[in-house]
């Protein structure tokens, strides 16, 4: 089975800190995605990548950046964490073509 692993299940950071959320997939998928999940808002796309070093903004990229130096790893970066970035972050990957997504188990980030 394809695995998408998010490095932390829970994370607590201070306002202003630089935060890295890591996501690794083990099946050579081309596409990787970062979503943010908030109650009453569903999942919203922050950034996605369809190849190494390629990135595209999603619907809510403000305050975030991403890095994809290797195919298996897609990092979400909060340059200066703020309390309104307290949320659940979900990573997903997908091969090229008409195949399904595989999601990680999420990182619940609290910014205090």
Partner 1 sequence: AQTVTQSQPEMSVQEAETVTLSCTYDTSESDYYLFWYKQPPSRQMILVIRQEAYKQQNATENRFSVNFQKAAKSFSLKISDSQLGDAAMYFCAYRSRTGANSKLTFGKGITLSVRP
Q: How near is the Cβ of 80 to partner 1 at its closest, in Å?
A: 26
Q: How near is the Cβ of 74 to partner 1 at its closest, in Å?
A: 14
Nearer to partner 1, 40 or 83 (CB): 40
Nearer to partner 1, 16 or 96 (CB): 96
How far apart (Å, rounded) are the C-alpha atoms in residues 83 and 46? Answer: 17
Residues lying near partner 1 in the complex (CB under 8 A) are found at 31, 33, 35, 40-45, 48, 50, 58, 88, 90, 92, 94, 96-98, 100-101, 103, 105-106
Q: How near is the Cβ of 64 to partner 1 at its closest, in Å?
A: 15
State whether residue 81 is helix, strand or coil: coil
Q: How many CB atoms lie within 10 A of CB 4?
A: 24
């Amino acid at each position: 089975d394809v695995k998408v692993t998010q490095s932390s299940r829970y994370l607590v950071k201070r306002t202003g800190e630089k935060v890295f959320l890591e996501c690794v997939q083990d099946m050579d998928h081309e596409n990787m995605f970062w979503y943010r999940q908030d109650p009453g808002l569903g999942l919203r796309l922050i950034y996605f990548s369809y190849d190494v070093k390629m990135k595209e903004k999603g619907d809510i990229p403000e305050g975030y950046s991403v890095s994809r130096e290797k195919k298996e790893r897609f990092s979400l970066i909060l340059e200066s964490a703020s309390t309104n970035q307290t949320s659940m972050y979900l990573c997903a990957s997908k091969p090229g073509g008409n195949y399904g997504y595989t999601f990680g188990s999420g990182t619940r980030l609290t910014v205090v």
